[in-house]
């Protein structure tokens, strides 16, 4: 029997650095949905990955003294490592530097150009490098990027544009005919009212001011800009290529995507740009785009500059992987931003995991061992309070399914823990320790313990997508293989089997002690990051002496490594009025091909010297010792200008 397919994706993480807890939430939430759908019998394909091109990455690589490829190899590995640490069950991890993706993107760009959807033009506007987005003056907030609040720069360059307006009416019709396409509803209204109805501007889809990207095959001085490159991953990851007469089996099987899970900050790109690109390609649109809110630190947006960034791996070192997963999934509302503080994490951990779940499992297994030698007893009929517990279990099953199917994961978590609270109350109502005092009550005691074990089993099946490792341990402790959805009905637990060893699932955390440790660690980090003491520097000189140093602008024409000298590069530079040969000790931080065409500053009146037998007629201006950073100039700077 063929299973019904279910294709689910995250937005691919930008490989510019380590992802914070808010970024990590998305892959944990997507994993929970994927695991739930697998439980329900779907043939799931869960894809995530990294977006690895763009000016920001090129700049960061240069600052780190690495090639862009070396830089993204490092950061993509770090991102993948955190996804793995969080026990996410993705089926495929795509990277936009993968060769098959780059080839497909080249073909997609060419197809859109050939059919008249892309044209060459000229862009002049305001650009935010971190967001890789262009804005008009009216879109800025206090003169800064409306998305991230950073400075924007005036940019002027030749570019290719996609005719967005050509497809706008068609997209509006589609959204109105498919009310489930954009979720939550508030995001849909925002896209229609703020972007589609006022009219779409054509979209810049190539850049010439940097070269770290996928070249436009028919105009290689252009690189494909982020939207066609990154957004196409959802189909190239299934093998799609517009040049294929017959698309591969994976694409035919899993497309259209059942849901793209994305952050609320990139809704426009996924609900307007992406569907229009698919329409232009003649590809069916995804069934749903679900835009989740953000995690803030308390009331503030996480920001490195504010020093309030929280990382999932650091949380896991204190609360365990399932502790982090549970907090992320139980605390994020459906439509409004979530909040994280160490106090709230500790409270959730102690109240829900250590007490409501962990203590219930421990008490029940201990009582089963004490009163029945660990053998799961046979239930002997219901009393009123038993029916109430069973009703709570059935209600949790029903609610959990409804809520997970509509991506209300935090509410789904709450439905299970409400049932667990009812099970804890059931212990107080039935008082097993009192029943155990009279042998005549043995059948009733057995029924009570069976019902508790069964409530624990059902809760663990439901919670498997949320805290998978913990639920696996619970199944071992109650010694059951009835762990699938087809066994979720109350009464499936097998009597006569012996429970396993009781192990602590979650140890209660001393809030005061942990908060003190965190504060101490934070202070130590701040101390270590304090600015270095002012260096002694050189002797004070007069302006006349400074003017004796002739600094001039130059362009690097050629560059190669010096044989048998690991630190040296030999450069040929153009001063406008002559060319010079310079030997510079920057080889450990720069590859020769990355320097050709760069504008630099050189000391032009330095006496010639020989380095490794090669004559050097000047010196490049650079900073640093271990990590060397050459001072680069704007590409429009004339050669040979005096630097004052």
Q: What is the rounded distance in angstroms from the CA atom of residue 643 to the CA atom of residue 235?
A: 51
Report the CATH number that the domain containing residue 395 is assigned in CATH. Answer: 1.10.730.10
Q: What is the rounded distance in angstroms from the CA atom of residue 374 to the CA atom of residue 100?
A: 57
The beta strands (E) that lie in 457-562 are given as 551-561
Residue 10: name the closest of 50, 40, 43 by CA. 50
Any domain includes 357: yes
pLDDT computed for residue 392 by the predictor: 98
Any domain includes 20: no
Any domain includes 162: no
Task: Work out the pLDDT band at 566, boundaries 50, 70, 90.
Answer: confident
Task: State the angle between helix axes of 468-477 and 360-372 in degrees (0 to 180), rounded to the nearest 10.
Answer: 10
Beta bridge partners of 613: none
State whether 453 and 372 are in the same domain. Answer: yes
CB–CB of 459/364 below 8 Å? no
Domain boundary among 450, 472, 487: 487
Q: 516 to each of 339, 511, 520, 522, how far by Cα in Å?
A: 21, 9, 6, 10
* Encoded tokens for 537: 């520097």
Contacts of 235 (CB under 8 A, 6+ apart): 104, 251, 255, 278, 283
State whether 466 and 345 are in the same domain. Answer: yes
Residue 485: name the closest of 527, 457, 525, 523 by CA. 457
pLDDT tens, position by position, 309-357: 899 999 999 999 999 999 999 999 998 899 899 999 999 999 999 999 9
DSSP state of 166: G
Any domain includes 199: no
Domain count, the chain: 2
Report the CATH number that the domain containing residue 577 is assigned in CATH. Answer: 2.40.50.140
State whether 340 and 482 are in the same domain. Answer: yes
Any domain includes 397: yes
CB–CB of 312/284 below 8 Å? no
Across 215-228, average pLDDT: 95
Domain boundary among 448, 466, 487: 487
Any domain includes 355: yes
pLDDT computed for residue 317 by the predictor: 95
pLDDT computed for residue 537 by the predictor: 59
Residue 505: name the closest of 469, 479, 481, 480 by CA. 469
CA 33 to centroid of chain Cα atoms: 16
Residue 305 has pLDDT above 60, yes or no: no
Q: Which domain holds residue 473?
A: 336-487
pLDDT tens, position by position, 150-186: 888 888 889 999 999 999 999 999 999 999 999 999 9
Q: What is the rounded distance in angstroms from the CA atom of residue 480 to the CA atom of residue 500?
A: 10
Task: Work out the pLDDT band at 1, boundaries 50, 70, 90.
Answer: low
State whether 472 and 589 are in the same domain. Answer: no
pLDDT computed for residue 588 by the predictor: 81
State whether 408 and 340 are in the same domain. Answer: yes
pLDDT computed for residue 531 by the predictor: 52
pLDDT tens, position by position, 583-614: 998 888 888 888 888 999 999 898 888 877 78
Residue 408 has pLDDT above 90, yes or no: yes
**Mean pLDDT of all residues belonging to the chain:** 92
pLDDT tens, position by position, 35-72: 999 999 999 999 999 999 999 999 999 999 999 999 99
Any domain includes 572: yes
Task: Work out the pLDDT band at 306, boundaries 50, 70, 90.
Answer: low
CA dihedral 552, 553, 558, 563 (to 10 degrees): 50
Q: What is the 3-state secondary structure (H, E, C) of 553-607?
A: EEEEEEEEECCCCCCCEEEEEECCCCEEEEEECCCCCCCHHHHCCCEEEEECCCC
State whether 483 and 340 are in the same domain. Answer: yes
Domain boundary among 487, 504, 525: 487
State whether 347 and 482 are in the same domain. Answer: yes
State whether 466 and 575 are in the same domain. Answer: no
């Amino acid at each position: 029997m063929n299973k019904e397919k279910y294709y689910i994706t995250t937005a691919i993480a930008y490989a510019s650095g380590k992802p914070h807890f808010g970024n990590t939430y998305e892959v944990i939430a997507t994993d929970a949905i994927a695991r739930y759908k697998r439980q329900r019998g779907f043939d799931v394909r869960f894809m995530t990955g990294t977006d690895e091109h763009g000016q920001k990455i090129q700049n960061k690589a240069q600052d780190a003294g690495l090639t862009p490829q070396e830089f993204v190899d490092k950061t993509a590995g770090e991102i993948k490592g955190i996804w793995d640490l969080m026990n996410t069950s993705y089926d495929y991890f795509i990277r936009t530097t993968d060769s098959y993706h780059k080839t497909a993107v080249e073909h997609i760009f060419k197809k859109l150009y050939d059919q008249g959807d892309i044209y060459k033009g000229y862009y002049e506007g305001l650009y935010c490098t971190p967001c890789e987005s262009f804005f008009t003056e009216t879109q800025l907030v206090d003169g800064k990027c409306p998305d991230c609040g950073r400075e924007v720069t005036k940019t002027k360059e030749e570019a290719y544009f996609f005719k967005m307006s050509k497809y706008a009416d068609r997209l509006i019709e589609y959204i109105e005919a498919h009310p489930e396409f954009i979720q939550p509803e508030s995001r849909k209204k925002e896209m229609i009212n703020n972007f589609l109805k006022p009219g779409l501007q054509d979209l810049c889809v190539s850049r010439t001011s940097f070269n770290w990207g996928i070249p436009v095959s028919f105009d290689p001085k252009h690189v494909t800009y982020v939207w066609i490159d990154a957004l196409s991953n959802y189909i190239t990851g299934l093998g799609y290529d517009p040049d294929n007469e017959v698309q591969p089996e994976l694409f035919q099987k899993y497309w259209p995507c059942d849901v793209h899970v994305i952050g609320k900050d990139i809704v426009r790109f996924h609900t307007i740009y992406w569907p229009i690109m698919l329409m232009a390609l003649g590809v069916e649109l995804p069934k749903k785009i679900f835009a989740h809110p953000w995690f803030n630190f308390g009331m503030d947006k996480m920001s490195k500059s504010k020093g309030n960034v929280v990382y999932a791996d650091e949380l896991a070192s204190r609360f365990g992987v399932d502790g982090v997963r549970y907090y992320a999934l139980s605390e994020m509302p459906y439509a409004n931003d979530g909040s994280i503080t160490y106090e709230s994490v500790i409270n959730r951990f102690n109240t829900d995991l250590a007490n409501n779940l962990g203590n219930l499992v421990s008490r029940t297994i201990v009582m089963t061992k004490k009163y029945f030698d660990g053998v799961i007893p046979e239930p002997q009929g219901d009393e009123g309070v038993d029916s109430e517990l069973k009703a709570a279990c059935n209600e949790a099953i029903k609610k959990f399914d409804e809520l997970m199917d509509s991506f209300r994961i935090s509410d789904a978590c709450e439905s299970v823990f409400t049932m667990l609270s009812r099970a804890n109350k059931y212990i107080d109502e039935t008082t097993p320790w009192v029943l155990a005092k009279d042998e005549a009550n043995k059948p009733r005691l057995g029924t009570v313990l069976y019902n508790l074990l069964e409530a624990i089993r059902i809760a663990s099946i439901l919670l498997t997508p949320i805290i998978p490792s913990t639920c696996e341990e619970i199944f071992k402790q109650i010694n059951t293989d009835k762990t699938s959805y087809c066994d979720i009905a109350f009464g499936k637990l097998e009597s006569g089997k012996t429970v396993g060893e009781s192990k602590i699932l979650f140890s209660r955390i001393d809030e005061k002690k942990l908060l003190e440790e965190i504060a101490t660690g934070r202070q130590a980090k701040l101390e270590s990051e304090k600015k270095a003491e002012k260096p002694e520097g050189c002797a004070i000189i007069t302006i006349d002496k400074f003017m004796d140093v002739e600094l001039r602008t130059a362009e690097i024409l050629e560059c190669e490594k010096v044989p048998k000298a690991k630190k040296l590069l030999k450069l040929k530079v153009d001063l406008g009025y002559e060319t010079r040969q310079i030997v510079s000790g920057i080889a450990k931080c720069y590859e020769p091909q990355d320097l050709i065409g760069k504008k630099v500053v050189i000391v032009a009146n330095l006496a010639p010297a020989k380095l490794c037998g090669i004559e050097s007629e000047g010196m490049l201006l650079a900073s640093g010792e271990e990590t060397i950073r050459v001072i680069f100039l704007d590409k429009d700077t004339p050669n040979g200008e005096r630097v004052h």
